[in-house]
Amino acid sequence: MIVRRLDEVAAVDWGNGLSRRFLVEADGMGYSMTDTTVRAGTTSPLEYRRHLEACYCISGTGEVVDADGTSHTIEPGTLYALDQHDAHFLIAGPDEDLRLVCVFTPALHGSERHSLDSSEFSHY
């Protein structure tokens, strides 16, 4: 059994926020689970070529915009899933950090970071 508390998990600064990676590849579960904070007022171009991801919002507001420009509001109680390795923009609202619980499959190694300034989209 694996039991971890938020205050025991190291935070990885991924560029526009922090990712607390509760489960990683070395845990042998086949998926990762993170508690991710996206800093208020930031826009993150993202695309996961090796991972599928589902995110559930627990606080804050924002939007996820797909590659064709369709915007979806994110607020507490909203889940979005990137089931096609979708390129997207994650935008946190201006007044409060966006907080998400995210699941990645296959599992993250644990130290991955986005490169938000090197190209249009940051790739894992």
> How many structural domains are present in the chain?
1
Specify the pLDDT at position 70: 95
User: What's the domain range around 50?
Assistant: 6-110
The per-residue pLDDT for range 62-93, each reduced to its tens digit, is 999 998 999 999 999 999 999 998 999 999 99
Residue 1, domain member (yes or no) = no
Rounded to whole angstroms, the Cα distance separating 57 from 80 reads 9
Where residue 27 sits, what CATH number does that domain have?
Answer: 2.60.120.10
Q: The pTM is what?
A: 0.89
Rounded to whole angstroms, the Cα distance separating 54 from 103 reads 5
